[in-house]
Amino acid sequence: GPHSNQGVDAAVINGSYYFLANNGDLLQEFPNHYSDDGVTWNYGLTSAWFKPGAIQGFGRIWKILLVGNFPSGVGVQIQIAYNYNPAIVDTFTITPGSTLSQLRVFPSQQACESMQLTISDTGTLSATAKMSLDSIDLEVGVRKGAYKKLGPTATL
C-alpha cells in the first residue's frame, strides 16, 4: 500500500479487522470499502508462464478469455509476452460494458512455446470500486515435437 508503516499488531473484534501500525495509527477494515487508509489504488497482476505443450513443446493459443468483476467505465489492460522473454509484445485495452464481464483477446503470436499475461486497470480505482479476476481460460492446440523457432542450431 501507500504507507511504509509496518504492522505492530492486528485483531478481529466483533467481526471487524483492526490493524495497529508502528506509527501508532489504528486502522479498521470496512465491508465493501476497498482503499488503503483512504488512498485509492491500482489493480494489477502478472501471471506465471503458460506453456501449451510439454517441455520445449509447440502449441497455439488461439484465444484468451478473462472472466471477472470490473468497475463500470474502468478500462482493463491485457499485455502479452511470449517465449520466456518478458518484453511486452501485445497490449489490448478493453472497457467492459457491465460489471460482470467476459473479456476476449486474440494473441498476435498464436504459435508459441510459452505466454505470460499482465492484467491491470487503466485508471485509479475509487475507494468503493471492486475489481476481481475470476478465471483465465485459454483456447489451445498442441502439436507433437519440439518448438521450431528457438534460434541457431549446430549439427555434427
Mean pLDDT of 126-148: 74
In this structure, are strands 26-28 and 16-21 parallel, antiparallel, or unpaired?
antiparallel
pLDDT digits (tens, 9 = 90+) for 93-122: 988 776 778 889 999 999 888 899 999 888
pLDDT digits (tens, 9 = 90+) for 15-24: 888 888 888 8
Query: What's the pLDDT at 40?
Result: 61
How confident is residue 10, by pLDDT bands cut at 50, 70 and 90? confident
* Out of 19-33, 68-82, 138-152, least confident range: 138-152
pTM: 0.66
Cβ–Cβ under 8 Å, residues 8 and 24 = no
CB-based contacts of 52, cutoff 8 Å, min separation 6:
59, 60, 61, 112, 114, 115, 138, 140, 141, 142
pLDDT digits (tens, 9 = 90+) for 59-90: 788 999 999 887 777 788 999 999 999 999 99
Q: Copy the grid coordinates of residue 7.
A: 504492522
DSSP-assigned states of every residue in 18-55: EEEETTS-EEE--TT---BTTB-B--EEEPPPB-SSST
pLDDT, the chain, mean = 79
Distances (CA, A) of 5 to 19, 117, 132: 11, 31, 26
